[in-house]
């Protein structure tokens, strides 16, 4: 049976899980997720201080057309992160100040777009989290069909509707909805371990205890040798 282009109902990461997971940097979640789920570095925040976290509302568009983004804004729920597969196109902007103000007014947590935006200064002043591949003054068309609520590819990562999205100055991370809760304990342990390691470095312990074995395994030095 063929699915409709717009899927309105899908399970999202529970709000209480979003709240807990939002405490962790994308880098921490990437490490405990087997270094998987980070989107391509081309997707960056308009302002380095921008952060977001929430369940994905996925949108697929044709390059240069934002019809389905307008449709998605009318379906979005408070706390959603709009995740848009814009095919990494930078020849025109798919969203600008008008749409971002609407997204903010609807209570969205932010926008991640594998495409360009415009009105960059206004968007920075708005303070609404926007992660994109860049900017372009050209406006889009509003004519071509796309899909909402289906899996998309954004920044080289498959994102399913309802997946957990978190982003900061390092970039954007996606964790499957069914998996994110299981990573929280390991993420908390990772934060403690890294803080302990940094404290040790500040106290003068700058060595890496694992380095010698790794160099032997890589064939850089022989067993029993030291740097």
Give the span between the Cα atoms of 164 and 161, in whole angstroms.
Answer: 9
Indicate the angle between helix axes 67-75 and 97-105, nearest 10 degrees: 20
Work out whether the CA dihedral 134, 108, 186, 200 comes out positive or negative.
positive
Q: Please tell me the distance from the alpha carbon of residue 167 to that of residue 26, in angstroms, as a whole number.
A: 6
Q: Is 169 one of the annotated binding-site residues?
A: no
Alpha-carbon separation of residue 118 from 80, 161, 222 (angstroms): 21, 26, 56
| 212 assigned to a ligand binding site | no
Q: CA 121, 125, 131: angle at the middle one, nearest 5?
A: 70
Instruction: Determine whether the annotation assigns residue 97 to a binding site.
Output: yes
Q: Burial letters for 47-75: b for 16+ Cβ neighbours within 10 Å, e otherwise?
A: eeebbbbbbbbbbbbbbbbbbbbebbbee
Are β-strands 44-45 and 81-95 bridged in parallel, bridged antiparallel, or unpaired? unpaired
Please indicate if the annotation marks 120 as binding a ligand.
no
99 belongs to an annotated ligand binding site:
yes
Q: How many residues does the chain have?
A: 227
Tell me whether residue 167 is annotated as binding.
Answer: no
Instruction: Tell me 140's DSSP state.
Output: P
Centroid of chain to Cα 24: 13
Tell me the C-alpha distance between 183 and 207, whole Å.
29
Known binding-site residue numbers for substrate: 96-99, 118
Known binding-site residue numbers for Mg(2+): 119
Known binding-site residue numbers: 96-99, 118-119
């Amino acid at each position: 049976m063929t699915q409709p282009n717009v899927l309105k109902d899908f399970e999202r990461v529970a709000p209480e899980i979003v709240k807990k997971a939002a405490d962790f940097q994308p880098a921490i979640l990437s490490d405990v997720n087997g270094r998987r789920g980070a989107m391509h570095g081309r997707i960056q925040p308009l302002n380095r201080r921008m952060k977001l976290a929430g369940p994905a509302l996925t949108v697929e568009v044709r390059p240069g057309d934002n019809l389905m983004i307008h449709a998605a804004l009318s379906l979005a729920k408070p706390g959603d992160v709009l995740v848009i597969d814009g095919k990494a196109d930078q020849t025109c902007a798919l969203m600008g100040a008008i749409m971002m103000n609407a997204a903010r007014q609807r209570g969205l947590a932010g926008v991640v777009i594998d495409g360009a935006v415009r009105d960059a200064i206004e968007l920075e002043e708005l303070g609404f989290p926007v992660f994109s591949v860049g900017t372009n003054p050209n406006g889009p068309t509003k004519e071509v069909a796309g899909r909402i609520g289906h899996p998309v590819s954004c920044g080289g990562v498959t994102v399913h509707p309802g997946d957990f999205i978190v982003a900061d100055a390092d970039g954007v991370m996606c964790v499957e909805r069914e998996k994110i809760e299981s990573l929280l304990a390991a993420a908390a342990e990772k934060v403690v371990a890294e803080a302990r390691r940094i404290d040790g470095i500040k106290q003068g312990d700058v060595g890496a205890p694992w380095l010698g074995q790794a160099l032997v395994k890589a064939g850089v030095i022989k067993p029993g040798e030291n740097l």
